Chains A and B, each alone.
Chain A
Amino acid sequence: MDTTAQRKMETERPEPSGPSQSASPRLTLSGISKSFPGVRALHNVSLSLYPGQVTALIGENGAGKSTLVKIMTGIYQPDSGEISIDGQATTLPSAHAAFGHGITAIHQETVLFDDLSVAENIFLGHAPRTRLGTIDWRTMRKNAREVLETMRAGHIDADARLKDLGIANKHLVAVARAMSIDARIVIMDEPTAALSMKEIEELFLLIEFLKSEGKAVLFISHKFDEIYRIADRYTVFRDGEMVGEGLLKDTSQNEIVRMMVGRNVDHIFPRREPKIGAPVLSVSGLSHPTEFDDIGFELRKGEILGFYGLVGAGRSEVMQAIAGITRTSRGAISLDGQPIAPKSAADSIEAGIVYVPEERGKQGVVIGLPIFQNVSLPSLARTSKSGVLKLAEEFTLARSYTERLDLRASSLSQDVGTLSGGNQQKVVIAKWLATAPKVIILDEPTKGIDIGSKAAVHGFMAELVAQGLSVIMVSSELPEILGMSDRVVVMREGRVAATYDNKGLDAETLVRTAAGIAA
C-alpha cells in the first residue's frame, strides 16, 4: 500500500456511527434508463451510495440489478440519466473510467486470474514499476503483503497461485485489489452464493472493515438474513423500476417483500399430510475414493427427505452417484428391494431415479430445441423403436405432461428459449416426470429463484409426494429444509453426520451438526 492510501485510512476513518441521514452520497445515479432491442431493462431508476454505509440492492431475478451493476462499472452505457460522484456529474464511458473513479465490483464467481499469484492479482493493471518501466516485483510483493495485513488477511501468501485458494480467500484477494486501487465504491454481487456459513461470517467482517474505511458498499443478495445483518440502507427494484428505498432499521422484511413482488406474499410452505409407506430407495456403504464415504440412508414412499450440509459436504456428489452420473467404489443401492448398479444416467432413468440438477440454464433445458423435444429428451428410449423416433408418441407424451403443469406456450414446437424462466422450469419438471420416475432427486431446487417461483416449486413437490413419489431434496436453505422435509439427513465432510425426524427439529441443531460443533 502506498503512503497516501495509508494516510487516508488514518485520517478518513469516520466516526463509528451507523447510517446518518446527513452524510452526502458518494455516488448518485438518477433517472437511469437502459433498453436492449425489444427489452426495457431499466426505467428511470435511482440509487445512492453513502460513504461508510452498506446499501442492499434487492429485487427478484430479472429486476435489472445486473444491468445496473454493469452501468456502474462502465460496461453498459445508460440511454438516459445522470451519474454523479461526490456531487460532480460524470460519465462512465468504459470499465477503465469506472476503475479510475474507484468503482470496483466483486462478483459471485470472482473474476480474477487463477494462474497468477495473489500479488499479481491485486496489482494487475496498476503494478508498481521500476525506473525502466518494468514491473517492480519486490515492491509489488511487499505492497501486497501490506494490503493483506491491513485487512487482517495476513494468512494469505502473496506468492500463492490464486487457484490454490478457497473461494472465501479469493474474495479476500478481490477486496485487497479494491483496497490497492483505493476503491471508494465497492459493489458485491451475491458474494455469499458459494460460501459456507463460516466463510460468510468472514466476509461480513470484511464488509465491516470496508465500512470502517469509509467505502460505499453496494451489497446484492437474495438472502434477507444477510441483508438485515450487514446493510444499512436498501433499494428495491421490480421489473426494471425502483420501487422503494430507505433505512433498513425502519423497514420490516414483509414490507420489503411486498415491494419486491408488488403484492403480499406470505411464504408459507404447503401444508401436507404425509402418507409415508415402505422404503423405496435404500443406500448403504456408498463410497467414493475422494468425495464421500460410507453413505447410508433410506427413502420411503411418499416422503420428502432433506439433505442438509455446508457447501462442499458432498451432498450433490452422492446424488450424482445414485443417478449414475459418477461411479462409486463401494456400496449398494436398492430400489423397491431390487439391488441396482447404475452405470450411466440412462440406467438410473430406466430404473426410475431421476436427478434434477441445480442451474436450470446450464443443466436443465436445452435452449434451441423445441419444447416437445426438451420434454422427451430423457425418454428417447421409450419414444423410439430401434432408434427411429415415433413423433406422434413424443408429442402425446410432451402434451400430457405440459398440460398437467399448465405450461403457457403457443405451441409445443416453440423454442424453449422463448419461454419465461418460470415456464422453462415447468418444461424441466415435465421432462423428468415424463420418465415416470419413482424417485426424484432435486438439487437446490429453489436456489437463486424469486419468491413467487419458490412457492410454486414447493407446492409442486408437495403434489409429487401426494401422488406417491418419493423426493430427495438437497438444499442449503434452512427454512426450506425445515419447511418441506419429513426427515433430514445432515452431511459433513463427505459423511452422514446425523439423520433427524423433522418433528420439533430446530435450525440450530442442523447448523451445529453440519458444522461439527458439539451441542
Chain B
Amino acid sequence: MKSFLKYREIWLLAGIVVLIGLISTRFPGFADPANLRQVFNDTSILMILALGQMVVILTRSIDLSMASNLCFTGMVVAMLNAAHPAIPTPALIVIALLVGLVLGAINGFLVWRLNIPSIVVTLGTLTIYRGATFVVSGGAWVNADQMSPDFINFQRVVLLGLPVLSWIALLVIALFFLVMTRTAIGRSIYAIGVNPTASVYAGIDVGRTKFIVFCISGMIGGLAGYLWISRYVIASVEVANGYELNIIAACVIGGISIAGGIGSVGGAVLGALFLGIISNALPVINISPFWQMAISGSAIILAVVLNARGERRQGRIILRKAEAA
C-alpha cells in the first residue's frame, strides 16, 4: 500500500508539472521560481485547511464546518485586534488556535458522545458558526484601517526568501507528516479509517480518536481564520463562504479516500497545490473563471476514478497460483 500511495502521489506531482508546463507555453513567466513561490504562498491557507480536513476524512468522517470556523475565529481575532491593538500578533494566533479548538471540540463531542453522523453535526455547526459570526460582529465588517499594521504584516515578513505565511504552511506540513507517520494517534487514525471494528478489538478508542481529529481540524480552522483575515484584510460574515467545498476538493484530488483510511499528507498538499495553480494560472492566460470551475470539477472526478481503479486492483485472490505469483 505504501509504495502504491507513493506511486499515486508521483502521478499527481507529474500532473502538476505537466500543468505548469502547459501554462508556461501560454504564459512563459509562470514556471519562474519567483512565481512558483508566489503560487505556493497563495495556496498556503488551502494546504493547511486540506491537512486539517484530511485527518477527519481518514476516520470516515467529514468536517463541513471548517470554513465557518475560519470565518468566526477570523472575526474574533480581527475584533480583538481592532479593540486592543496592543495584543501581540503571536498571542492572537494562539487565541485563534484556541477558539478554533473549542469549535472543533464541539463538533467532536457531538460526534463522539451523541453518536451523530459527522456530516449532520458539521452541517449544523456550519450554519451555527457563521450565524455566531453575525452575532459577535453585529453584521459589521472589520476593515483594513481598523487592523494594526503588525496584524496585517506578520505573515508577509520575508524570512530566508519566503514569507512567514509559506513558513507556517511548511511547518504545518512537517508537523502533520510527523503526527501521521510517527505517533500513536496518527496510526490510530489510519486504523480506524480502514477497519473500525478491528480497531475496537485492538484497544483503540474510536470515539475518542474521532474527537481528537475534530479538535485538530478545529485548530486548523482557527489558525486559517487568522491567516485568511490578515491576508485579505477584511473580516465579515461572508468570509470563505462555501470554501469548505474547496477544502474537500483538495483532499479528494489529493487521493484521500472519502471512504476513510487511505490518504497521505503529501497527497493533501499536492491536491491543494493543483487547485491553487489552476486558480492562479487560468485568469492570467485569459481563461474564464467558468472554465476554471469546470477544470477543478473534472480533476475531482478524474481523481476519484483513478483512485477507485487503484483500489479495485487489490481484489480477492482466489487461485493459489495467482497468490504465489
Using Cβ atoms and an 8 Å threshold, which residues of chain B touch A391? 182
Q: In whole angstroms, what is the CA distance A415 to B194 when docked? A: 12
**Residues in chain B near residue A431, CB distance under 8 A:** 202
Chain A-chain B contacts (Cβ-Cβ < 8 Å), number: 125
Asked if B204 lies at the interface with its beta carbon under 8 angstroms from chain A, I say yes
Would A366 and B191 count as touching, CB distance under 8 A?
yes
- Closest residue of chain A to B3, judged by CB? A413
Task: Specify which of B201, B313, B320, B321 is in contact with A363 (CB 8 Å cutoff).
Answer: B201
* A507–B205 CA distance with the chains assembled, in angstroms: 40
The stretch of A94-102, A114-122, A342-350 in contact with B is: A342-350
Taken residue by residue from 34 to 55, chain A's Cβ proximity to chain B (1 for < 8 Å, 0 otherwise) reads as 0011111100000000000000
Residues of A within 8 A of B198 (CB): 362-366, 377
For chain A, residues 382 to 438, give those with C-beta under 8 angstroms from any C-beta of chain B. 384, 387-389, 391, 413, 415, 417-418, 420, 431
**Nearest residue in B to A389 (C-beta to C-beta)?**
B182
Contact yes or no, A377 B319, CB < 8 A:
no
Residues on A with beta carbons closer than 8 Å to the beta carbon of B314: 367, 415, 417-418
**B182 near A39: Cβ-Cβ < 8 Å:** no
Instruction: State whether A362 touches B187 (Cβ < 8 A).
Output: no
Cα-based distance from A348 to B203 in the complex (angstroms):
8
User: B1-23, CB under 8 A of A: which get 1 and which 0?
Assistant: 11010000000000000000000
- A344 partner, pick from B1, B203, B316, B318, beta carbons under 8 A: B203
Selected from A350, A367, A387, A415, the residue in CB contact (under 8 A) with B184 is: A387
B287-325 toward A: CB 8 Å interface, digit per residue (1/0)? 000000000000000000000000001111111111101
| Distance (whole angstroms) from the CB of B185 to the closest CB of chain A | 6
Q: Is A5 an interface residue (CB 8 A)?
A: no
- Return chain B residues, CB-CB under 8 Å to A368: 1, 190, 194-195, 261-262
**In the complex, chain B residues whose CB is within 8 Å of the CB of A348:** 203
In the complex, A362→B200 CA distance in Å? 11
Q: B188 an interface residue at 8 Å Cβ cutoff?
A: yes
Residue of A323, A368, A369, A415 most packed against chain B (CB within 10 A): A368
User: How far is A381 from B183 in the complex, measured between Cα atoms in Å?
Assistant: 11
B2 touches A413 (CB 8 A): yes
- From B190, B204, B318, give the contact of A346 (CB < 8 A): B204
A9 CA to B138 CA in the complex, in Å? 79
Asked if B318 and A41 make an inter-chain contact with CB atoms under 8 angstroms apart, the answer reads yes
Are A387 and B183 touching (Cβ within 8 A)? yes
Whether a CB of chain A sits under 8 angstroms from the CB of B199 is: yes
Q: Is the CB of A366 within 8 A of B319?
A: no
For the complex, give the distance between the alpha carbons of A370 and B4 in Å: 12
**Is the pair B201, A384 in contact by a Cβ cutoff of 8 Å?**
no
A140 to chain B, nearest CB (A): 36
B307 to chain A minimum Cβ distance, whole angstroms, is 13
> Which chain A residue has the least Cβ–Cβ distance from B257?
A368
**Contact of A380 (CB < 8 Å), options: B1, B187, B200, B313:** B187
User: Which residues of B12-40 have CB atoms within 8 Å of chain A's CB atoms?
Assistant: none
Contact between chains at A377 and B204 (CB < 8 Å)? yes
Tell me if A373 and B187 are in contact (CB < 8 A). yes
Bound CA–CA A338/B71 (angstroms): 54
| B184 close to A366 (CB less than 8 A) | no
Question: A362-B197, A363-B197, A387-B184 in contact; A39/B315 too (CB < 8 A)?
Answer: yes
* A363-B201, A365-B198 given; A384·B184 CB < 8 A: yes
- Chain A residues proximal to chain B, CB less than 8 Å: 36-41, 62, 64, 67, 239-240, 323, 325, 344-350, 355-357, 362-370, 373, 377-378, 380-381, 384, 387-389, 391, 413, 415, 417-418, 420, 431
8 contacts between A and B (CB under 8 A): A38-B315, A239-B319, A363-B195, A377-B204, A380-B184, A384-B183, A388-B183, A388-B184
3 residue pairs, one from A and one from B, having the closest CB atoms: A346-B203, A415-B1, A378-B202
Residues of B within 8 A of A (CB): 1-2, 4, 182-185, 187-188, 190-191, 194-195, 197-205, 261-262, 313-323, 325
Given A362-B198, A368-B195, 20 more A-B residue pairs with CB atoms under 8 Å apart are A38-B322, A39-B322, A40-B322, A62-B316, A362-B195, A363-B197, A365-B198, A367-B195, A368-B190, A369-B191, A377-B198, A380-B184, A389-B183, A389-B184, A389-B187, A391-B182, A413-B2, A415-B314, A418-B314, A431-B202
